[in-house]
Amino acid sequence: MLFEAVVQFFAHPLHVTTLIVSWALALISFLYWREHPKARFLHVHLFFLLLPLLDFAVAVPCNIPFVQGLLTFCSVVITRAVIFLIPVALALAVVLGYVIAPALYKKMYNAKPLKGTRYRQLAQYAGVANARFFLLDTAKPLAFSFGRDVLMSVGMFEVLKQKEQDAVLFHELGHVKQQSSVSKFSLWLARLFSPLAYFSSVSAAISAEEKSADAFAAQLQGTMKHVQAAKQAMRAFARL
């Protein structure tokens, strides 16, 4: 019966037109993302990629023999399951990636907010005045960002000198300004649902973002030496 439903779907010119136009726009938005890697283009790509699926969910007949008396119920279940469960799953994934995971990480390392004048000045100088800073209770030198939150470990302050600390903070503020965490998470979502995104190079995208954050820090400090010194110090610690 499913095969017959698919055949009927493709026999309708409107559904075929919707499929062709939607997937053409999905391809165009994906290619545009390759040239301009912004998360919103991936979101547009996913929307048009999944639109024919929603169209099929609405159009598919529910004439399976053993549910002949439940046609209305069946239609509602199939339609709403596809239309509502996919967005709900995406929303839950976003909540997990942006809210739950960072909160768990902060809890695991007993993160404390840093509200000193120095951090506010660094954020304002970097053009990211809304950034928030947290201190992680671990001796391992760590620094990373989630959304607008910059997290640094106690160990980072013990291993790095003042200028090197600033270089790391500017690097992470560069990620915040460029919304790197949003881009990485959007790419992960796209790889789950899009065959085109699955074959894109995650490592290349991450490498480009890291280089961009390094350049951002070097521009603010007027030199790359502090960024390089910070990386060398943290690599040396990792080898111990």
- Give residue limits of the domains in the chain: 2-62+74-102, 111-238
Classify residue 224 by its DSSP letter. Answer: S
Rounded CA-CA distance 126/100 in Å is 27
Low-confidence ranges of the chain (pLDDT < 50): 64-71
Top CATH class of 111-238 equals alpha beta
Rounded CA-CA distance 125/55 in Å is 49
Single pTM value for the model: 0.64
H or E stretch at 81: helix 71-95
pLDDT the model gives residue 105: 80
pLDDT the model gives residue 75: 54
pLDDT the model gives residue 12: 81
Over the stretch 132-146, which tens digit does the pLDDT of each residue have? 999 999 888 888 888
Cα(first)–Cα(last) distance of the chain, in Å? Answer: 64
Over the stretch 100-158, which tens digit does the pLDDT of each residue have? 777 888 888 889 998 888 899 999 999 998 999 999 998 888 888 888 899 999 999 88
